[in-house]
């Protein structure tokens, strides 16, 4: 007769290998999901209501739906697109822009998230602006006064402070990104200097000189407002700027806002779950073997 512990040991062997195989197969999806979710992270939104009382919310919602559809379609082939939609009473102009380092697929995925977020947060309000980590969308009724290109829309500075000499390293990185943005064909720049990671991007419809001026303004705001903060981000009407000190795992957009790499964190969490499941399986199988042996 077969030893009562033979079957549990065989089950344990196959269970271990099956669990490892499943984890290895799932890991790429885990990493992609982490990145996917981060691009959809809401950074800020601005919603106002400057439309005339003559414009019924239902008609505005219909126009916005048409606008969103065209923007979504264009996001599969472009990282910036501007268009308009309307009827005989109101016209709405809108645009989307994706972060310069996103692939076409990531840009499309991000832009397709924007209408849902905008509808939930802003409804039929005009004008409106929604900024996610990987993309943004803004729209307004044509003829309504727009904000200035250098107007500050959003600012965040990390609580963690750098030591003496950090500001000099950060300012050197800022100089590098100022030079880079002026020569960048897509007005997006990603620089690492003295362990400081800086990213800057201008609106797709902003001229070269205006882009340089906007980034310089963003840098001045960071220098004045963030002080020794190891990470920060500034959004103006015409451009955005973020920075982070890499030695502390703070790398701006691509590694989680003001924190360590989100991909690594998710992998660690999943690894911990796998270890717990494996341990539970071991206990269960061994306990079953002891029960059989004691009969």
Q: Does residue 201 sit in the same domain as residue 227? A: yes
In-domain check, residue 18: no
- 224 within a domain of the structure (yes/no): yes
Provide the number of structural domains found in the chain. 2
Beta partners for 155? 234
Contact of 229 with 166, CB cutoff 8 Å: no
CB 167 within 8 A of CB 152: no
pLDDT in tens, 107-153: 999 999 999 999 999 999 999 999 999 999 999 998 766 668 899 99
- Could you list the residue range(s) of the whole structural domain that residue 192 is in? 149-260
Does residue 285 lie in a domain region?
A: no
In a domain, 286, yes or no: no
Task: Check whether residue 153 and residue 255 sit in a common domain.
Answer: yes
Q: Are 88 and 163 in contact (CB under 8 A)?
A: no
Residues 6+ apart with CB under 8 A from 154: 43, 44, 131, 233, 234, 235
Q: 217 and 114, same structural domain?
A: no
Are 228 and 173 members of one domain?
Answer: yes
Digit-coded pLDDT (tens) for 236-279: 999 999 999 987 544 444 433 444 444 444 444 455 555 555 55
Q: Which CATH number do you get for residue 88? A: 3.30.430.20
Task: Please give the pLDDT value at position 265.
Answer: 44
Is the domain of 164 the same as that of 136? Answer: no
With respect to residue 130, please indicate whether it lies within any of the assigned structural domains. yes
The DSSP result for 54-120, as a single string, is TS-HHHHHHHHHHHHHHHHHHTTT-SEEEEEEE-SS-EEEEEEEE-TT--HHHHHHHHHHHHHHHHH
Residue 107 and residue 173 in one domain: no
SS3 179: helix
Record the pTM: 0.73
What is the per-residue pLDDT across 197-251, written as a single tens digit (0 to 9) for each?
A: 999 999 998 999 999 999 999 999 999 999 999 999 999 999 999 999 987 544 4
In a domain, 266, yes or no: no
Is residue 231 situated within a structural domain? yes
Residue 180 lies in a domain: yes
């Amino acid at each position: 007769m077969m030893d009562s512990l033979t079957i549990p040991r065989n089950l344990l062997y196959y269970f271990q290998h099956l669990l490892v195989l499943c984890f290895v197969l799932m890991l790429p999806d885990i990493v992609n999901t982490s990145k996917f979710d981060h691009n959809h992270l809401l950074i800020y939104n601005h919603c106002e209501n400057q439309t005339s009382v003559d414009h019924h919310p239902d008609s505005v919602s219909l126009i916005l739906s048409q606008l969103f559809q065209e923007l979504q379609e264009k996001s599969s082939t472009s990282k910036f697109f501007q268009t308009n939609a309307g009827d005989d009473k109101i016209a709405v102009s809108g645009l989307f822009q994706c972060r310069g380092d996103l692939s076409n697929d990531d840009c499309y995925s991000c832009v397709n998230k924007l209408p849902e977020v905008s509808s939930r947060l802003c409804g039929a309000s005009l004008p409106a602006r929604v900024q996610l980590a990987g993309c943004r969308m803004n729209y307004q009724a044509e003829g309504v006064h727009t904000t200035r290109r250098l107007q500050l829309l959003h600012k965040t500075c990390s609580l963690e402070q750098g030591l003496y000499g950090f500001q000099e390293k950060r300012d050197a990185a800022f100089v590098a990104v100022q030079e880079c943005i002026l020569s960048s064909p897509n007005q997006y720049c990603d620089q690492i200097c003295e362990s400081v990671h800086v990213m800057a991007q201008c609106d797709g419809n902003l001229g070269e000189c205006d882009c340089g001026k906007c980034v310089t303004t963003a840098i001045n705001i960071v220098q004045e407002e963030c002080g020794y903060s190891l990470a920060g981000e500034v959004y103006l009407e015409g451009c955005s700027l973020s920075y982070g000190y890499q030695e502390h795992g703070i790398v701006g957009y691509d590694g989680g806002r003001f924190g360590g790499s989100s991909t690594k964190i998710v992998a660690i969490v999943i690894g911990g779950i796998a270890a717990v499941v494996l341990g539970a399986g071991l206990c269960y199988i061994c306990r079953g073997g002891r029960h059989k042996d004691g009969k």
